[in-house]
Structure 1
Amino acid sequence: MIRYLPFLIEAALLVYCLIECIQTDVPRNLSKTTWVFVIILLPIAGGIAWLVAGRPERRPARDVPWPSTGTAGFPEYERPRRTSPDDDPEFLAAMGASDDKHEQMLKDWEAQLRDREHKLKDEPRDPA
């Protein structure tokens, strides 16, 4: 069993580096096709070369555990404060203006409907 260990390590390194190379968008230093051939033709040296010089650099966007949220990495007492829309006078003023606009649109629509109804009442009907 021990004499197969180098072969297993070589095969695992080959498979890992090959899969990682194929899944990479833009490798460093060489093209993706060249890296695949290097990894396949030189199994140990190519795999090590890929790990050292081929993998793209991975830099985290921010140094927080969960970068997808705006408050990640902050204890609750240090989180940036956000005002709610109910406390923002500009937001409330914009809402009032929006309501006035919608009220006017609704009145115009009702007037158009009334006009259509009067036209339908005034038109003679065909007994079909």
Structure 2
Amino acid sequence: MGRFLPVALAILLAIYTLVEVAQAPTYAVRRMPRWGWATAIILLPILGAAGWLFLGRPSSQSRRENSYTARPKAPDDDNDFLSGL
């Protein structure tokens, strides 16, 4: 059992980081494109996952820069919508 624990943890870490790569916004991923991170995680499970967690994961600032908060929150706040009425 003890021999299989590190392998199981590496597999779970790879699955976790692959799911995180798939859910990350394309514009916010750092250093490489998402497909590059996914390839690195699959080919080098521990190194690729560590690289994603420390180098590629979107920072909170990069998520805020291009987030949807710049859009109007309601139709009556949107000048384009109001001009079309």
Map of 1:29 onto structure 2: 31
Q: Tell me the alpha carbon deviations over residues 68-115 of structure 1, each in whole angstroms, 9 at most, x when there is no partner.
A: xxxxxxxxxxxxxxxxxxxxxxxxxxxxxxxxxxxxxxxxxxxxxxxx
Partners of 2:60 and 2:19 lie apart in 1 by 17
How far residue 34 of structure 1 moved from its aligned partner, in angstroms, is 0.7
Amino acid of the structure 1 residue aligned with 2:38: V
Q: Which runs of 4+ in 1 moved over 2 A?
A: none
2:52 match: 50
Q: CA deviation at 1:21?
A: 0.3
Q: Residue 58 of structure 1: CA displacement?
A: 1.7
Decide which structure has greater helix share: 2
CA distance in 1, matches of 2:3, 2:48: 22
Q: Aligned Cα RMSD in Å?
A: 1.6
Unaligned runs of 5+ in 2: 65-85
**How far apart in 2 are the matches of 1:20 and 1:9?**
16
Q: Distance in 2 between matches of 1:2 and 1:30?
A: 35
SS at match of 1:2: coil
Q: Distance in 2 between matches of 1:57 and 1:32?
A: 15
Corresponding position of 1:10: 10
- Whole-angstrom CA distance in 2 between matches of 1:28 and 1:55: 6
- What letter matches 1:57 in structure 2? S
Structure with the larger RCO, 1 or 2 (CA within 8 Å, 6+ apart): 2
Residue 19 of structure 1, CA deviation: 0.3
CA distance in 2, matches of 1:49, 1:35: 8
TM-score by length of 1: 0.45
**1:35 offset after TM fit, Å?**
0.7
